[in-house]
């Protein structure tokens, strides 16, 4: 799916994507009811890969455990 015509607002290290109305990119219609699709929803977590893609993380706990394990391995090899 190609999303076009949106603004990205940045404040320090944080940013958000804004549509034509509040909640548009988060699956809300103009009247506030739910759409069948969304770019992202509250609670979603993404990791940026080397190509600049934001990849949705389904299991955040597993991602953190993997990161911590890699961090420990890297320190012991230093």
Tens digits of residue pLDDT in 13-53:
999 999 999 999 999 999 999 999 999 998 899 999 999 99
The candidate with the shortest Cα–Cα distance to 41, out of 21, 17, 65, is 17
Q: Which residues contact 75 (CB under 8 A, 6 or more apart)?
A: none
Burial label for 28, CB within 10 Å (0-12, 13-18, 19+), is middle
Question: In this predicted structure, what is the pLDDT of residue 25?
Answer: 94
Whether residue 77 has pLDDT greater than 80: no
Structural contact between residues 22 and 16, judged by C-beta atoms closer than 8 angstroms:
no
């Amino acid at each position: 799916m190609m999303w076009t015509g949106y603004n990205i607002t940045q404040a320090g290290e944080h940013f958000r994507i804004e549509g034509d109305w509040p909640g548009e990119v988060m699956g809300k219609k103009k009247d506030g009811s739910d759409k069948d699709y969304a770019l992202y929803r509250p609670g979603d977590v993404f990791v940026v890969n080397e190509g600049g893609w934001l990849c949705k993380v389904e299991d955040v706990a597993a991602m953190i455990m993997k990161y911590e394990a890699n961090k420990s391995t890297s320190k012991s090899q230093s």
